Amino acid sequence: MNARVLVGVLALQGAFDAHVQRLTDLGIESRLVKDVSDLEDLDGIILPGGESTTMSNLLVASGLGVGLSQRLHDGLPVFGTCAGMIMMARTIQGGRPDQISLDAMDIHVRRNGYGRQNDSFEQDISISSLDSPFHALFIRAPIIESIGKDVEVLASIDANPVLVRQAHTLASSFHPELVSDLRVHEIFLSIIHESLTTSKR
């Protein structure tokens, strides 16, 4: 359980530094991922918030998209926040037709589902495994419109899931990296540890 882990943070565009900071706060070693070779030896990867169309372009231009998609389908634990969640989704509404879907999670998301920046908000949410509320920032956030039967909802606002898990994948429409509360990142770490335990047999 205390094995050292190395977590990659996709660093093409967006709030990747904030994720690195949270991992550092947790004493976890991290690596910025800009190139296929950066995927080697990772125990998990975070896809940050930012603009999903920009990241999609850069995934294609750098050739990283194919390698990343392969690693995710091989079961590399992944945590996507906001734009990162959009890229993980099986289907995307309101995106660009040429936008990459890594198809890592059985969810259907609508880009900018909560509206433009003037509709961006912060709110306390209840997360099922946590005993006190988590303060969540939603920035031009995507809405999870529907989920597959293997997807577990860990938190929602009204009828809309905002934190979901499926096997070794975790996705949030909010930004846990922008607050000092580390508990959502800890959930991802526990997923990484589970995956290491099962893969060692």
Partner 1 sequence: MSSSSNTPQVGSFPVKRGLAEMLKGGVIMDVVTPGQAKIAEDAGACAVMALERVPADIRKDGGVARMSDPDMIEGIKAAVTIPVMAKARIGHFVEAQILQALGVDFIDESEVLTPADEAHHIDKYKFTTPFVCGATNLGEALRRISEGAALIRSKGEAGTGNVVEAVRHLRSILGDIKKIGSADSAELFEWAKRLQAPLSLVQEIAETGKLPVPLFCAGGLATPADAALAMQLGAESVFVGSGIFKSDNPAARAKAIVEATTHYMDAKILAKVSAGLGAPMTGIGMDEINQRYAERGW
Which parts of this chain interact with partner 1 (CB under 8 A)?
Answer: 11-18, 34, 49-51, 53-54, 57-58, 61-62, 82-83, 94-96, 111-112, 116-124, 133, 135, 137-140, 175, 178-179
The Cα–Cα gap between 132 and 134 comes to 7
- Closest distance to partner 1 from the beta carbon of 3 (Å): 31
Q: For partner 1, give the closer residue by CB, 61 or 66.
A: 61
Minimum distance of partner 1 from residue 23's CB (angstroms): 16
Bridge partners, 169 (sequence order):
78, 166
Helix (H, G, I), strand (E, B) or coil at 51: coil
Q: Would you say 138 or 188 has its CB closer to partner 1?
A: 138
**Of 19, 168, 177, 185, which one is the catalytic site residue?**
177
Residue 177 annotated among the catalytic residues of the structure: yes
Question: In the complex with partner 1, which residue's Cβ is closer, 111 or 168?
Answer: 111
Nearest to 179 by CA among 139, 129, 141: 139
- In terms of DSSP bridges, do strands 169-172 and 89-93 run parallel, antiparallel, or are they unpaired? unpaired
Task: List the catalytic residue out of 19, 168, 175, 185.
Answer: 175
- Nearer residue to partner 1 within complex by CB, 58 or 182: 58
Q: How far is the CB of 134 from partner 1 (least distance, A)?
A: 11
Strand partners, 170: 79, 165
> Does 175 qualify as catalytic in the annotation?
yes
Q: Is 82 a catalytic residue?
A: yes
Question: Considering the complex, what minimum distance in angstroms separates the CB of residue 200 from partner 1?
Answer: 35
Choose between 16 and 79: whose C-beta lies nearer to partner 1: 16
- Residue 18 and residue 126: Cα distance in Å, rounded? 22
Q: Rounded to whole angstroms, how far apart are CA atoms 168 and 165?
A: 7
- Least distance (Å) from partner 1 to the CB of residue 92? 11
Cα 49 from Cα 27, distance rounded (Å): 22
Q: Which of 195, 156, 162 is nearest to 176 (CA)?
A: 162
Q: How many CB atoms lie within 10 A of CB 74?
A: 7
Q: SS3 for 48-69, per residue?
A: CCCCHHHHHHHHHHHCHHHHHH
Residues known to be catalytic: 82, 175, 177
